[in-house]
């Protein structure tokens, strides 16, 4: 294997990020048409996975084209194009096995990375090599997770849509059970992360934040899970939800980039790295977009001091409590937005 080139995130302009096209509140869908596609995909899903997962002769693009061809053959005999929602559904099903395989590999790389960090004389060359490889793996995962999120956000409002979501998760669980020994745990973390992002969107929107999907490479490399805008102030969010499910405790913290080693003591190494990257990435965009300040907020859905919220474990929809406007997260948002106003005045 040759040297892996470093992934360079494009310099996205503000209009490519804070734009109606990336809003998380999705437009209405032709549910009947899309659910028909879902039925066809479910019917061929297991057969497709047997044919393609682990088949190194097929590239990712070839797998995706094959799944699209199946849907086109069964549903679009007249030559019509698949809708965007239908393509998201195909992407979500198509990626299941590969994403689980990648998570397993990424876990192994994480362990190696932590071992290097603990060495007296760290192997920085190998560390850089691992970091570069993980960027590519994380981008693939972020793109797949975004497809699943859009399915949840698009389908959860109707009984037929919720039924499809249930079947999707059932297929995901079945594949994780048979894929490898640790697959069930990894699948649970993935699922929790996706559901948590949907929950966070609803919570933030209820508190007055207009939310936007981050581009997959912003999510994976720059640790910006969501963008937001509140009272004209741009915000960048990282959502921690891999261990959160069902009964959540929602908390928020501003990430200032000045946290001391003592303040970060006890925080998972990956979380500490993510906080630092979130802050530096937001600073980069502030300079690029020529805005005085972009607020950075860490949203934790499993914090001992957080506000209790019940989450639907299939769709991610939260039951918002009456005390949410007085929560720590709401206070942090208000503080960060006010800080943005101070920066504008100065």
Residue 243: CA atoms inside 13 Å, Cβ hemisphere, count? 7
pLDDT at 72 over 70: no
What pLDDT does 160 receive? 83
Q: If you average pLDDT over residues 268-295, what whole number do you get? A: 92
Give the pLDDT band of residue 47 (cuts 50, 70, 90).
low
**96-145 tens-digit pLDDT:** 777 877 877 888 888 888 888 888 888 888 888 888 888 888 898 999 99
Whole-angstrom CA distances from 277 to 43, 220, 282 are 42, 11, 8
Taking the model in full, what pTM does it have? 0.86
Contacts of 75 (CB under 8 A, 6+ apart): 36, 37, 40, 82
At 346, the pLDDT band (50, 70, 90 cuts) reads very low
Q: What is the pLDDT of residue 3?
A: 66
Neighbouring C-alpha atoms within 13 Å toward the C-beta of 147 = 20
- What pLDDT is recorded for position 1? 46
Q: What percent of the chain has pLDDT over 90?
A: 42
Q: Chain-wide mean pLDDT for the chain?
A: 83
Using alpha carbons only, give the angle 342, 344, 346 rounded to the nearest 5 degrees: 70
Largest CA distance in the chain: 65
Whether 183 has a pLDDT exceeding 70, the answer reads no
Lowest mean pLDDT, pick from 68-77, 208-217, 264-273: 68-77
- Predicted local distance difference test score (pLDDT) of residue 163: 87
Domain-by-domain residue ranges, the chain?
Answer: 14-345
Please report the pLDDT score of residue 197 as a whole number. 96
Model confidence at 188, in pLDDT bands (50, 70, 90)?
confident
Whether 337 shows a pLDDT value over 50: the answer reads yes
Mean pLDDT of all residues in 8-15 = 94
Q: What CA–CA distances, in Å, run from 249 to 185, 197, 211, 271, 321?
A: 21, 14, 21, 18, 11
């Amino acid at each position: 294997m040759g040297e892996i080139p470093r992934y360079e995130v494009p310099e996205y302009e503000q209009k490519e990020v804070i734009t109606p096209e990336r809003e998380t509140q999705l437009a209405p869908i032709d549910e009947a048409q899309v659910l028909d596609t879902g039925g066809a995909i479910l019917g061929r899903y297991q057969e497709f996975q047997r044919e393609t997962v682990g088949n190194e002769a097929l590239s990712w693009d070839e797998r995706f084209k094959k799944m699209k061809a199946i849907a086109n053959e069964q549903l679009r005999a007249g030559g019509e194009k698949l809708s965007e929602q239908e393509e998201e559904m195909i992407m979500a099903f198509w990626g299941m096995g590969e994403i689980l395989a990648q998570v397993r590999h990424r876990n192994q790389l994480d362990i190696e990375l932590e071992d290097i960090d603990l060495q007296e004389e760290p192997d920085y060359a190998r560390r850089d090599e691992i970091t570069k490889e993980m960027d590519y793996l994380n981008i693939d995962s972020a793109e797949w997770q975004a497809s699943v999120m859009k399915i949840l956000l698009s389908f959860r409002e109707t009984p037929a849509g919720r039924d499809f979501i249930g079947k999707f998760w059932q297929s995901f669980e079945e594949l994780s059970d048979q894929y490898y020994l640790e697959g069930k745990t990894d699948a649970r973390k993935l699922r929790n992360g996706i559901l948590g992002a949907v929950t966070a969107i609803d919570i933030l929107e209820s508190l007055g934040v207009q939310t936007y999907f981050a581009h997959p490479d912003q999510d994976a490399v720059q640790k910006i899970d969501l963008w937001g805008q509140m009272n004209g102030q741009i915000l960048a969010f990282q959502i921690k939800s891999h261990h959160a499910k069902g009964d959540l405790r929602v908390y928020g913290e501003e990430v200032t980039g000045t946290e001391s080693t003592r303040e970060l003591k006890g925080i998972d190494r990956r979380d500490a790295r993510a906080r630092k990257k979130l802050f530096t990435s937001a600073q980069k965009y502030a300079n690029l977009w020529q805005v005085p300040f972009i607020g950075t907020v860490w949203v934790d859905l499993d914090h001992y001091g957080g506000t209790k919220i019940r989450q639907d474990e299939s769709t991610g929809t939260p039951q918002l409590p009456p005390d949410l406007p007085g929560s720590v997260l709401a206070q942090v948002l208000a503080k960060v937005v006010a800080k943005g106003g101070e920066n504008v005045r100065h």
